[in-house]
Amino acid sequence: MIIFKLIGFENYIIKDKILYRKEHVVNDKLCKFKYISERQIKISTKNNVKGYYLVRNNERKFYSLTSLRHRLKKITKDIY
């Protein structure tokens, strides 16, 4: 499995060409803490350009695939 991280986006990782948001814990109204597991982020289109809506600095913004390409950094490569 090949894993990449996006430089500047610490909450996101790419596993086998699929973008995921990392698991995290948030405060909830009904309980003290709520655990949210890792989830897949789907590709979106805006003005016929493919990309992702990502959260950075508490702002949700569209990033095209070409603008994210230079931000990839390989973490591990495991051969099974």
What's the pLDDT tens digit per position in 19-31?
Answer: 998 887 888 888 8
pTM of the model: 0.77
pLDDT of residue 77: 61
* Pairwise CA distance, residues 65 & 8, whole Å: 15
Residues 6+ apart with CB under 8 A from 4: 13, 14, 72, 73, 74, 75
Overall number of domains in the chain: 1
Range of the domain at 73: 2-77
pLDDT of residue 78: 56
What's the pLDDT tens digit per position in 5-56?
Answer: 999 998 899 988 899 988 878 888 888 888 888 889 999 999 999 999 999 9
Q: Could you give the residue ranges of the DSSP H alpha helices within the chain? A: 65-68
Whether the predicted pLDDT of 79 surpasses 70: no
